[in-house]
Amino acid sequence: MRSTARLAGLGGYRKALLYTGSVAALLGAGTAGAASASAATVHHAAPAAHAAPARQAAPARQAAAAGHASARSAGAQSAHSRTAEPKTLSWRQVLEIQAHRADPGLHGSLPSADVVRPVAFYGAQETMPLTSAQYANASTIVHQALAKKMGVRSAVIAVATAMQESELNNLNYGDRDSLGLFQQRPSCGWGTATQITDPSYAADAFLTALGKYQAANPDWAKQPLWEAAQGVQASGFPTAYAKWEAQAAGLVQQITTQQTR
C-alpha cells in the first residue's frame, strides 16, 4: 500500500466537494423523433379542348393517393421506431436486477449489500477528475465485482480503495514494492509484478480478499466503507478511503447501469 505522502503528490489537482446525499441516475434512452412525410402536391393544368374531365382528374387522384400511402407508411415506420426503442431502466430497477444476480452466500440476506450507500458518508468527501483510462479501470473493478456476484456495495468499496491507493491509475511503482491499482505487494503474496499490474487480476485479488473479510464480518455492509477497505489493505491511514465514497458510488451506479442495459 502506498504512503500518504506519495498520495499527496499525486492528488494535487483534487477538488474538495461535500456530498449531502446519494447520487441519483437514470439510464436515458433517446426518444426517436417521428419521421416526417409531406403529401404530394398536385398541380392542375387548364383543361384541353374536348378532354374528358374524368380522365384529367385521374392523375391528380393517383398522386394524392400515393401521397396518403406515403404518409401512412411513414407513420407506421415512426410507430415501429418507438416500439423498438430500448426500455428505460430506473436505478432501482437496475439494483433489483443486480440483486438477483448476487450470490446470497457472499453477503447473506443483508439488503444493504445491494445498494451503493447503505450508511452515511464518513467525513468530508472529495472528488477527482477522471481520464478515460481511469474510468476504464473503474469499469474493470465494477465488472469484476458483479461477475463474482458480490453486489454493488462491494464494488463501491473496491473502487474507493483504488481511488485512494492509485487514483485509479495502474501504477508500475509505489511504496516499497507496491504496484497497480490497489498498490498490492508481491512480497506480501498478492501475486507477481506482472499479475498485479493487470487491472482484472488486481481487482479480482482485492475482491477475493474482501470476500474473506465479509465472511468473517456478517455486518460488513452496515459498517463505514473505510472499515471494510482497511480490513483488506491494512493501511497506516485507515480512514483515508472514506473520502472517495460519494464519487465511487456515483461511478458504480453509472457503470452498473450501462452494463445492465
- pLDDT, one tens digit per residue, over 179-194 is 999 999 999 999 999 9
Tell me how far apart the alpha carbons of residues 3 and 10 are, in angstroms, rounded to a whole number: 11
Cell (9 digits) for 2: 502506498
Query: Is 133 inside a domain boundary?
Result: yes
Query: Is 54 inside a domain boundary?
Result: no
Tell me how far apart the alpha carbons of residues 97 and 72 are, in angstroms, rounded to a whole number: 39
Long-range contacts, 185-194 (Cβ 8 Å, 24+): 185/1
Tell me how far apart the alpha carbons of residues 211 and 102 are, in angstroms, rounded to a whole number: 13
Phi then psi for residue 68, to 5 deg, are -65, -40
Residue type for 125, please? Answer: Q
Give me Rg for the CA atoms of the chain. 29
Query: Is 35 inside a domain boundary?
Result: no
Query: Is 61 inside a domain boundary?
Result: no
- Domain with 101, as residue range(s), is 4-19+89-260
> What is the number of structural domains in the chain?
1
Tens digit of each residue's pLDDT (9 = 90 or more) over 109-143 = 456 777 889 999 999 999 999 999 999 999 999 99
Most confident by average pLDDT, 14-18, 80-84, 145-149? 145-149
Query: Is 188 inside a domain boundary?
Result: yes
Query: Is 192 inside a domain boundary?
Result: yes
Most confident by average pLDDT, 30-39, 71-80, 83-92, 224-233? 224-233
Closest CA to 247 of 10, 16, 7: 16
Other CB atoms closer than 10 Å to residue 49's CB: what's the count? Answer: 4
Query: Is 63 inside a domain boundary?
Result: no
Per-position DSSP letters for 122-180, written without gaps between them: -S--EE----HHHHHHHHHHHHHHHHTT-HHHHHHHHHHHHHHHHTT---S--STT-BT
Residue type for 104, please? Answer: P
Tens digit of each residue's pLDDT (9 = 90 or more) over 30-62 = 323 333 333 333 333 333 333 444 444 445 555
Query: Is 93 inside a domain boundary?
Result: yes
Per the CB < 8 A criterion, the answer to whether 91 and 257 are in contact is: yes
Residue 94 banded pLDDT, cuts 50, 70, 90: confident
